[in-house]
Structure 1
Amino acid sequence: MRLRFCLGSFRRCQQGTARAIGFLAAWCPTSGRWLRSFVICRVMNCASCLLRLAERLMNAGHDLMNKAIGWMLREMGKRDQPRLETFLKKHTMTMPRTMLRCSIEKLSKEDRMEWMNA
């Protein structure tokens, strides 16, 4: 039941429904880590939804979640690097190092060094 409702919310989120994005952002931290990973992967094409979820799940406390979020940020950065850099400027000091390392993998060596030393 919960998964079916969640899948419907993904469809609405991908269509840009603000209510669905708010629901996912509120619901995701309370679910298990596998469902959270599923949520992160499903919203890959919705950058604003991904960034909102990344902010909510930044301190999830599980290394696999940090890697999943970092991976999705990296994929988003391939398409929209300025948006990734804006997110990193805001959250570099508070985001887990695993998430940061995963999110900057595809940047140039100089940029990676700059972000890691920030």
Structure 2
Amino acid sequence: MIQCKRVYEPIAASDGQRVLVDRLWPRGCRKDNLALAAWLREVAPSNSLRQQFCHDPALFDEFRLLYRAELAAHPEHWQGLLALAEQGTLTLLFAARETQQNNAQVLAEFLEEELERRGEPSSPVCYQGLVD
């Protein structure tokens, strides 16, 4: 399971592996208080895309498309997150005030789709050798 959570919310046992997915360190947070498995700056939107979007809800659909393109171009940045999600709960941490229109939500959608794509093969050719 993949979930998203503001970095300023309290740590919960249900968080599982907590990964910060912002390019910049969140304001007012001490590194030793976040209980992170990792801080993956490189999986966050590029600086130019982040600045272009600037948390404007009117630009979110365009941001989503451009960010997904960045993710697709660099699987090495997010493949490790799939392994964490397969092991249990993965919580993507973000600092934005907007809880629905942010990079963590787009990343979570992207990762969920990748997990579905990695599922069991479904074409007859893929079953070759698996059935009698």
Q: TM-score, normalised by structure 1?
A: 0.32
Larger radius of gyration: 2
**Richer in strand (by share):** 2
Greater relative contact order: 1 or 2 (C-alpha under 8 angstroms, separation 6 or more)?
2
**Richer in helix (by share):** 1
Q: TM-score, normalised by structure 2?
A: 0.30
